[in-house]
Chains A and B, each alone.
Chain A
Amino acid sequence: MSEPLKVLLLDDEAIVGKRLKPALTKIGCEVEVFQDPKEALERIDQKEFDIVVTDIRMDDIDGIQVLEQVVNKSRRTKVIMITGYAMMAVAREAMEKGAFDFIAKPFKPDDLRKVIARAAEALGSPIDFDTPTTDNG
C-alpha cells in the first residue's frame, strides 16, 4: 500500500466523525475529524488534504464556504459533500462549484467508502477497497 490518503472529515454531528474515522482508517485513510468548521478551515490552510468530506448545512460556516476555500487552495483536493434530505439545489450548486461528488444522509459507511475509492482513483492513487462488510459483503 502506498502513501495513505489524507482525509479531513467535517461534520457538526460528533457521532459521524466518531464512527467514520475507524471506518475510513480501515481502508487506508489517514483521517482527521473536525466538528467546528472554523477549526477545519484553519487546518485546511495548514495542510493539503487529498480528500475533504464536509457536511453542507452547519450553523456558522456552511459546506459551500468550506468547498470554496478548499478549491481556492488546492485544485487537486477532492471535496465530497454530505447533504441532507431535500437539499438537491444546494448539492447541484456544490457540484457546479467543483465538488467531486455528494452523498445524502442517511448513508452507510460503505457508501462513503465507495465515493472515497472513486476519488482516490481520480487522484491516481487507488485504494484497495475490499474491507469485509457484514451485511452486503
Chain B
Amino acid sequence: MEQPSTREKSSSDVPNLANGQAEGPKTLEGHYDRIRAVESARKALLARKQLPLRLQIYLSFFLVFLFAAGIAAALIIINIQVDGKLRFLEITNDFTLEIVQARRFEKNFFLYGTNLDDALENVYHAKDIFERNKGELRKMLGEKVQGIILSNINRYERLLEQLVAMRQSQVFSPDNLDNKKEIELELRKSGGKMVTFAQDLMKKERESLARILSRSRKTHIFSLIILLIFLALNAYFLGSRVLGNIDRFSDYAQRIASGDFTPITPARRYQDEFTDLAIAINQMILELETREAVLVQSHKMRAVGTLTAGVAHELNNPLNNITLTAHMLLEDYNSLDDDERKDMIKDLVNEAGRSKKIISNLLDFARESTSQMEPLHLEEILRDTVALATNQLKLSGIKIDFQTTENLPRIHGDIQQLEQVFLNLLLNAIDASSKGSKIQVLVIPADDPNYVAVKVIDRGTGIPEHILHSIFDPFFTTKPKGRGTGLGLSVSQGIVAKHGGHISVSSREGQGTTFTVTLPVTTIPAEITTQTGFSGLI
C-alpha cells in the first residue's frame, strides 16, 4: 500500500529551478525566491491525503488484537462443544452400561431363572439416567431419537415387568409358557436393539468428538500461520515505510550538506509524520541558507579587508603624484608656460583616473550585488581576479604567470562568488609564497570534456601531508591567530559545490601547492540565459 513512488525533484506546483544545484541565494531577492519555493513546497506537501504512520501502527495492532480475540473465541466455543460431547458420552456410557448389565441379568434369568429383579433395577437406573439428563439429551439427540430410545426402554421395562408378574403368580400354564417364550423373544430383540442403538450413538458421538478436536487442531495451526503471515506483512510494510523514508531523508540531508538548498517536494501520494519532518527541514534550509549567505558575505568582506591594505598602499602613488603636481602647479603657476601647465593638469587627471581604477575593482567586488547565474568565460573571471589581487601581489613582491587556453567553453555561474573563490586561492597562494617567487594561474580544459579547470600553483612552503585532508574543514587554519578565520576554503568549497564543480588540492612540503577547481561547462545558449537570467525562471 505504500510503494514508494518515484522521487520527483519538483512537482508541478513547485518551481522547477533550472540548474537548481547552482542556484545562488546570496541576495535578498534570491532569498525571497527560496522562501516562495519553500512555501509552495509546503503547500504541495500538505495538499495530499493524510495517512499517518501512527494510524498504520494503531490499526495493525488493533487488527492483530481482533484476530487474536477471534482465535480465543473459537477456542472457547470448541471447548464448550467438546465439553458437551464429553458429558453426552459420559451419559450414554452410563446408560449403555446399565442396559448391558440389565441384559446380562436377563441372560441369567433365562439360563438359571435368577436375577430378574436385578435386571429390572438396572433398567430403572438406565431410565433414571435418561430422565435426569433429559434436557441435555434432547439437545444432543433431538426429540425423535430421544423418543425412540425412551419407547425402547419402556418396552423393555414393560416386558421385564410382565416376566416379574408371571413369576410372582407362579402360573406356568402351557399358554403361559408360550407367552413367556414370546416375551423372552421380544425381550431379547428389544434389549439387543437398545444396546446396538446406544453403542451406535456412542460411536457416532465419538467420531463427532474426534472431528471437533481435529477441526480445533487445524483451526489452531491455520490461525497461527495466518497470524504469522499478517505480522510478517505488517512488519514488512511498516518497516519499509519507516526505513524507506529514513533512507530518503538521509539522502536529503546529504544533498543539503553538499550545498543544494532546493526544498523537499512531495515524493509520495499521501502525507504523514515524515511530511512534518520535510516541512521542518525545508524551514531549516531557509535558515541554513541565510546563515550561509551571511558566512559567504562575511568571508568576502574579510578578503576585501586584506585587499584594502594593498589598495591603500597602491593608492599612495597616484595620490602622491597628484599632491606633488598640484603643489608645483600652484607654486610655479605664473612662471610656467601654457604647455607645462596643461601637462601638469593632464597628469592630475590621469592620476585621478588611476586612483579610481585602483579602487573600482575592489568596490565592484565588495559591492553586494544581485546574485545572477549566467554563462561566463572562466579566463575573464580569472583576469578580473588577478587584477583585484594586483596590489597585493605588488606589495608582496610576487609575480603572476597567467596562462589560458583559447576558445574554452563557457561555464554557468555567479561571477561574484566565483571571483571570491579564486581570490581566496590567490590570496592563500600569496600568503604561502616568499618574496620574489611566482604564482601560476592556469585556465585549461579538465580531464572530463564537460568541465574546465583552473589551477592556482604556488612555489611556497607547501602543506604538510597530515593536515592536507583537513584544509577544507570549517575553522581549520594554519595562519597565526587573528589572521585567518579558517573559513576561506570551506566557503570556497561550498560555492564550487553549488556550481556543480569540485575543488581539490595537491601539495608537497617545501615545493608548493596546487589548487584545482573544476567547473561544468554550460550547455545553455547565451541568448536565452542572458535574456531571462536566473531569477527570471522562478
What are 5 A-B interface contacts by the 8 Å CB criterion?
A19-B325, A23-B328, A108-B327, A109-B328, A135-B327
Contact present for B327 and A84 (CB under 8 Å): no
A9 to chain B, nearest CB (A): 12
A106 and B328 in contact, given A13-B321, A15-B351, A16-B321 (Cβ under 8 angstroms): no
Mask for A65-107, Cβ within 8 A of B = 1, else 0? 0000000000000000000111100000000000000000111
A residues near B (Cβ < 8 Å) are 13, 15-16, 18-20, 22-23, 57, 59, 62, 84-87, 105-110, 131-135
Find out whether the CB atom of B321 lies under 8 angstroms from the CB atom of A15: yes
CA distance A106 to B321 in the complex (A): 8
Closest 9 CB pairs of A and B: A106-B320, A15-B321, A105-B316, A105-B320, A19-B324, A106-B319, A106-B323, A84-B316, A134-B330
| CB nearest neighbor in A for B325 | A19
Chain B proximity of A24: nearest CB distance (Å)? 11
Contact B313 A86, beta carbon cutoff 8 Å: yes
Assembled-state Cα–Cα distance A18/B327 (Å): 13
Minimum CB distance partner of A109 in chain B: B327
Those of B275-334 within 8 Å (CB) of chain A: 309, 312-313, 315-317, 319-325, 327-328, 330-333
- B347 in contact (CB, < 8 A): yes
B contact patch SS:
helix
Chain B: residues with Cβ within 8 Å of the partner, total of 25
Q: Is the CB of B317 within 8 A of A13?
A: yes
**Contacts of A105 on B, CB cut-off 8 Å?**
316-317, 319-320
In Å, the complex CA distance between A46 and B322 comes to 33
Q: In the complex the two chains form, what is the Cα distance from A85 to B319 in whole Å?
A: 11
In the assembled complex, the CB of A124 is this many whole angstroms from the nearest CB of chain B, namely: 28
Contacts of A18 in B (CB 8 A): 347
Q: Are B331 and A15 interface neighbours, CB within 8 A?
A: no
Q: A59-B394, A105-B317 are in contact. List 5 more A-B contacts (CB 8 A).
A: A15-B351, A23-B328, A87-B313, A106-B316, A110-B327
Shortest distance between the CB of B392 and any CB in chain A (Å): 13
Nearest to B395 among chain A residues (CB) is: A57
The residues of A that contact B351 with a CB separation of less than 8 Å are 15
Chain A residues near B344 (CB-CB < 8 A): 19
B322 touches A109 (CB 8 A): no
* Cα–Cα, bound, A16→B320 (Å): 8
A105 and B397 CA atoms in complex are apart in Å by 19
Q: Enumerate chain B residues within 8 angstroms of A22, measured Cβ to Cβ.
A: 328, 332
> Considering the chains assembled together, what is the distance between the CA atoms of A74 and B248 in angstroms?
81
Q: Which residues of chain B are near A135, meaning CB under 8 Å?
A: 327, 330
By a CB distance below 8 angstroms, the chain A residues around B347 are: 15, 18
In angstroms, Cα B316 to Cα A106, docked, is: 6
CB contacts (< 8 Å) of B333 on chain A: these are 134
User: Hey, which chain A residues are within 8 Å of B394, CB to CB?
Assistant: 57, 59
Shortest distance from the beta carbon of A134 to any chain B beta carbon, whole Å: 5
Q: A13-B317, A15-B347 are in contact. Are A20 and B324 (CB under 8 A)?
A: yes
- In the complex, which residues of chain A have a beta carbon less than 8 angstroms from the beta carbon of B321? 13, 15-16, 19
The residue from A15, A62, A86, A134 contacting B309, defined by CB atoms under 8 A apart: A86
Contacts of B315 in A (CB 8 A): 85
Name B435's closest neighbour in chain A (CB-CB): A62
> Which chain B residues border A85 with CB–CB below 8 Å?
312-313, 315-316
Query: Please, which residue of chain B has its CB at the minimum distance from the CB of A137?
Result: B331
Contact flag A107-B323 (CB < 8 Å), given A22-B332, A134-B331 = yes
Nearest opposing residue in chain A for B334, CB measure: A134
Query: Is the Cβ of B328 less than 8 Å from the Cβ of A19?
Result: yes
Cα A130 to Cα B513 in complex, Å, equals 58
Given A16-B320, A16-B324, the answer on whether A109 and B331 have CB atoms closer than 8 Å is: yes
Q: Which residues on the A side are within 8 Å of B317 (C-beta)?
A: 13, 84, 105
For residue A134, which residues in chain B have a CB less than 8 angstroms away from its CB?
330-331, 333
A132 to B330, CA, bound (A): 11
A57 to B323, CA, bound (A): 19
The answer, among A13, A86, A109, A131, for a CB contact under 8 Å with B312, is: A86
In the complex with contacts A84-B313, A86-B313, A13-B328 CB distance below 8 A = no
Chain B residues contacting A23 (CB-CB under 8 Å) are 324, 328, 331
Complex: A68 Cα to B352 Cα, angstroms:
34
B325 touches A15 (CB 8 A): yes
In the complex the two chains form, what is the Cα distance from A85 to B309 in whole Å? 9
Q: B residues within 8 A CB of A86?
A: 309, 312-313
Specify which chain B residues have a CB less than 8 angstroms from the CB of A110 in the assembled complex: 327
- B324 proximity list for chain A (CB < 8 A): 15-16, 19-20, 23, 106-109
